[in-house]
Structure 1
Amino acid sequence: MLYLTIFILLFTFVCLYCFYDCVKPKNYPPGPAWLPLIGCFLIFVRLRSKYEYTYLALQQLAHTYGPVLGLKFGNQKIVVISTYDLVKKNLLRDELNGRPDGFFFRARAMGKRKGILFTDGTTWSQSRRFTMRHLRTFGMGQSAMKMQITIEIQEFINHLQKISEHDVVPMHRVFDVAVLNSLWLMIAGHRFDYEDEKLQQVLKVVHDIFRSMNTMGGLLSQMPFLRFIIPELSGYNELIRIHKVFWSFIGDEIKIHENNPPENEPRDLIDAFLLEISNKNGDKDNVFDRENLLILCLDLFLAGSKTTIDTLGSIFLFLSLHPEWLGVIQAELDSVVGRSRAPTEEDLPLLPITEAFLAEIQRYFILAPLGVPHCASEDVILNEYRIPKGTLVLFNLYSVENDEAYWDEPNLFRPRRFLDERGQFRRNNFSLPFGLGKRRCLGEQLARSALFLFFTNIVHYFDMKISTDHDKPDLKCYDGFTLSPKPYYLKLTKRSE
């Protein structure tokens, strides 16, 4: 009788839990029905399998349920906001500018909330203020930054010439070190050699982590208990292995600075942060500690290089399949720059077709279609719906760049949409490649400069053809936290002077 009573109580508890777990909050945005424990995860998996990409699966659900889409994966409530009008309006709302606090977002920071990318409140505001101030001190947005990029590009062009003399060029990976160097000088005061084996291994891990996780933090953020049941299949073991590589690499860099302090003024951001640690030791609400420095550097290392690397990779992937555009850009560069010198940022106002091409590339190949995840820091009313505090919020930037209310035939690649009737470049405020509001990309100036200078210099100095020894390049990218081009190889030949 006792066992029967226990069984009935347990059965009743499970039934009540399952019922409660399927009930949506009052006025929650419309979306698929929820199942116990998994929510609408199975529907998402089916659509993800059909459309191959996370953002297209969510776009399809938005077509069905509307531009404010309510979901639940495991224990994680998710709201997806689509269309230009809604995205722009709500990116500017402070109460939707928090960051999620799921398992993945803490695991990368040793179980804590550290760094700048996935924090909010005091930690985020102090870290961002410090980072912006000192990146400017060490060159961000200044002539020193442009000079650093120019020097790096000269080294990179020489590197490409050496490779291309004897072999085809792996365009999906060739930008890794050069782009990182443009940022690392400000962070750590030095650049890496292109053949640095340790760095190459770390950069491979960077690509792995971006492909293994989606914008929502992956399965572990939705069902964190799986790490105890299936640590290998759930990706937990791989996640920790990858981050140990990052922690070790950046930890060694910090140790070098600790063992070799500056004689006078800080030489780079790491020096400046270590100085803050010593000055504010013991202060209440102090975010300046070694762990926060490590995760801050990790955030800058990943976010500051990955999207620029993949954008450059996507540009030359597109050019390899549409060589007519290569001729158009080269003709404009030759007419403005000539053949006796390298392009510089001072040439930009005189290169409207090139600037329009790059703007359209960033609209057409939006490599972060769901941006960086946000979180509702309090209950929020959006239209007639209520988004509960703690809900993960995704802004569908793919819908922004393809909103037919603002873009004529958005599925077509048409750089001329960024030119006025006189053929001059016209910036279109409907495009948001760097986000909007207080969470706007803090490395935007560096990214814009690096993208323009790397692109124009390579096109200026090289012709390119698809390698016949490898598979034809494929415009379909790898899915993940961002989209990244699949491996492809080009034969580069130096253009005549």
Structure 2
Amino acid sequence: MWSFLYLIAQYLWPFAITLFLIKLYQWWEFPHPRFPPGPRGLPIFGIANKMAGEKMTELEKDYGSIVGGKMIGMNTVVLNRFEDIHDAFTKHGSVISDRPPMHVFNDVTQGFGLVEKNYNIPCKLHRKFGSSFFKGYLCSGMNIESICADESHYFIEDLMKQKQGMPIDLRLKFFNVTVNVISHITLGHRFDYDDTTFQKIVKSSIKIFGDSKDVPFMVLCMVFGSLRYIPPFCYAYQRYLAMHKEIQDFIQQKIDEHKKHFDPDNVKDFIDAFLKEQKFGPLKNQPHFNNAELGGLVKDLYLAGTETSSNTLAWAIAILLHNPDYIKKMQQEIDNLLGPDEQLTLSHRDLMPMSCAIIQEVMRCRTLVPFGVPHCTSEDVDFRQYRLPKNTLVSGNLWAVHNNPEVWDKPHEFNPYRHLDEDGKFVASPHVIPFGVGLRRCLGERIAKIEIFFFLVSLFRYFNVLPDPTAKKLPEIDKGLQMIVFSPHTYKVVLQKRLPA
């Protein structure tokens, strides 16, 4: 027995050394003489430990604004300037819009939906369909603005029921309203906040993107896919899959219900619109409008459409607790514009420059996805003076754009006035790009911006938001949980009712 093991070991060690040397060579050797310069990083890991917004911008001093390297054996390029990100994902978007292979995401999407799909024919068709739907969205006389306005009413009504002086977690409330907006758009109706099924979906949505217990394990699983089979990582991974399945089963049930009652002359929501396209759209497109793709698209809307808005709102409250003077300025603006019985509408947004500036500054200060959703080259690409080989991972450092000192004076400071002109009017900056740019720009951007405006303004219209008196300090705003989305640590606030002027 021992002699047998000795023989195996004798033949295995040369193989192991050879494999190690091959990996070492792959780590050291850049794929092309004109590949962007950058550090070699660590063996095998490459520049993985540098993939943080601030760390990557530090490399500009040595390598320039376009940094190249290897990350877990994959050619990787990071773009740190707005102009490079814009040109790469817009002018060269047709060949820099695929997705790199990520086993964890592929396991949960199975290739369906938009987030993980390469920029192929199905992707283009689904994006065109989604864009057209959201642009002309009318469901039984309802549109996105009126849905958000109605949900704001339920949101304030629910908060009014809370016991006065009792600390509450507003982030949970934000998830309630954003999930309901997506439910109305995709399913045609909202849920009561205390509905058992609804609460399961809300809790799963929160944990998928930021369960503090599982985040460290899942981050490593996303980098090293094979870890998802090894304890203790596999336990976190199984919980991650279970939460996705819970949401997918819920969506499939709703799709089945829609099929039973489908009426092509009465399209009420996103699912109905997709089913109509499936049955009556161009014959050549119908294979790409199948049931699996519908389930994937609706799940994308639920997860991406709730997480970004909810966490932006949560960051906004945390930051404003550190800057209470801006809450007063926002409330003064609201009170001057809206009478006690006047309904908030989207048209008021143009008359609320301070509120808009505060929202844009929150988006700038707290980049939810610091490197955006990664892109991948579908063929060799000449970009600037460099050559990016096929299957190169390309990331836009959105954090760097939002913190570029050449654009923003003292970028680490929270200062909404940087978004107001000399006349006090709001200026929408092209350099605030939390939803990305180019051909893979987030489809739900318009929905998110409307939600954030309605819910934040409604909250401060009817409540003073105060720090939790039982907490030892104000919410942490410089640190948070980073998995797919950068979300704040859990904190609580106290709501104090106020009467609009």
> Offset at 1:330?
0.9
Tell me the distance in 1 between the aligned counterparts of 2:133 and 2:142: 15
For the 8 Å contact 2:54–2:400, the answer to whether it is kept is: no
Aligned-partner Cα distance in 1 for 2:232–2:390: 30
Secondary structure of 1:169's match?
coil
Alignment of 1:39-438 (within 5 A): 39-41=46-48, 44=49, 54-62=52-60, 65-92=63-90, 93-94=92-93, 95-110=95-110, 113-119=111-117, 120-139=119-138, 144-165=143-164, 167-211=166-210, 218-230=219-231, 232-233=233-234, 235-262=236-263, 264-279=265-280, 286-438=287-439
Candidates 480, 493, 496, aligned match of 1:490: 493
SS in 1 for 2:162: helix
Indicate the SS of the match to 2:318.
Answer: helix
Unaligned runs of 5+ in 2: 1-6
Q: How far apart are residue 380 of structure 1 and its match?
A: 2.0
Residue segments in structure 1 that go unaligned for 5+ positions in a row: 49-53
Does the C-alpha gap of structure 1 residues 71 and 200 become closer, same or farther in structure 2, counting only changes over 3 Å?
A: farther
- Retained in 2: the 8 A contact 1:67–1:83? yes
2:31 is the alignment partner of 1:31: no
> What amino acid does structure 1 have at the position aligned with 2:193?
Y
Partner amino acid, structure 2, of 1:474: E
Question: Aligned equivalents of 1:17 and 1:313: distance in 2?
Answer: 47
In 2, distance between residues paired with 1:4 and 1:132? 59
Question: Counterpart of 2:149 in 1: which secondary structure?
Answer: helix
Give how far 1:230 is off: 4.5
Alignment partner of 2:328: what SS? helix
1:274 to partner: Cα distance: 2.6
Q: Which moved more, 1:27-36 or 1:480-489?
A: 27-36
Hey, what's the Cα distance between the residues in 1 that align with 2:417 and 2:37?
38
Task: State the superposition RMSD in angstroms.
Answer: 2.9
Indicate if the aligned counterparts of 2:31 and 2:75 stay in contact, CA closer than 8 A: no
Structure 1 length normalisation: TM-score?
A: 0.88
Q: Confirm whether residue 478 of structure 1 aligns to residue 481 of structure 2.
A: yes
- Secondary structure class of the residue paired with 2:233: coil
CA distance in 2 between partners of 1:414 and 1:341 (Å): 30
Q: 1 CA distance for matches of 2:486 and 2:441? A: 19
Alignment of 1:3-42 (within 5 A): 10=15, 13-14=18-19, 17-22=22-27, 23-27=29-33, 28-33=35-40, 37-41=44-48
Seq. identity, %: 29
SS at match of 1:163: coil
Question: CA-to-partner distance for each residue in 1:368-423, whole Å, 9 max, x for gaps?
Answer: 22111111121123333322211221100111111122222212211111111122
3-state SS in 1 of match to 2:206: helix
Aligned residues: 483
CA distance in 2, matches of 1:456, 1:464: 12
Amino acid at match of 2:153: Q
Distance 2:257 2:297 in 1: 17
| Shift in alpha-carbon separation, 1:152–1:80, aligned structure 2, 3 A | same
Deviation of 1:430 after TM superposition, in Å, equals 2.4
The 1:263/1:279 distance shift into structure 2, 3 A limit, reads closer
Q: Secondary structure at the match of 1:153?
A: helix
Deviation sequence 1:253-274 (CA, Å, 0-9, x none): 2122233333743322112223
Q: Distance in 1 between matches of 2:285 and 2:446?
A: 34
The 1:332/1:103 distance shift into structure 2, 3 A limit, reads same
C-alpha displacement of 1:65? 3.9
**Stretch moving more, 421-430 or 303-312:** 421-430
CA gap 1:136/1:282 in 2 versus in 1, 3 angstroms: closer
Is the CA contact (8 Å cut-off) linking 2:30 and 2:69 kept in structure 1?
no
What's the secondary structure of 2:435's corresponding residue?
Answer: coil
Whichever residue aligns with residue 40 of structure 2, its letter is: A
C-alpha distance in 1 between matches for 2:269 and 2:460: 32
* Contact map agreement 1:465 1:492 (CA 8 A) in 2: yes
Which amino acid letter does the alignment assign opposite residue 102 of structure 2?
Answer: G
The SS at the match of 1:427 is coil
CA shift at 1:131, angstroms? 1.7
Query: d(CA) in 2 for partners of 1:63 and 1:191?
Result: 51
Counterpart CA distance in 1 for 2:263 and 2:496 is: 44
User: Aligned letter for 1:486?
Assistant: H
Letter in 2 for 1:75: G
Output the TM-score relative to the length of structure 2.
0.87
Which amino acid is the alignment partner of residue 80 of structure 1?
Answer: V
Task: Check conservation: 1:87, 1:400, Cα contact below 8 A.
Answer: no
Q: Could you say what secondary structure the match of 1:193 adopts?
A: coil
SS in 1 for 2:274: helix
Distance 1:67 1:208, change over 3 A: farther
Q: Given that residues 356 and 415 in structure 1 are in contact (C-alpha distance below 8 angstroms), is that contact kept between their aligned partners in structure 2?
A: yes
Deviates more, 1:96-105 or 1:31-40: 31-40
SS of residue in 1 equivalent to 2:113: coil
Asked if 1 retains the 8 angstrom alpha-carbon contact of 2:149 and 2:344, the reply is no
> Retained in 1: the 8 A contact 2:40–2:70?
no
Residues 166 and 494, structure 2, Cα contact 8 Å, conserved in 1: yes
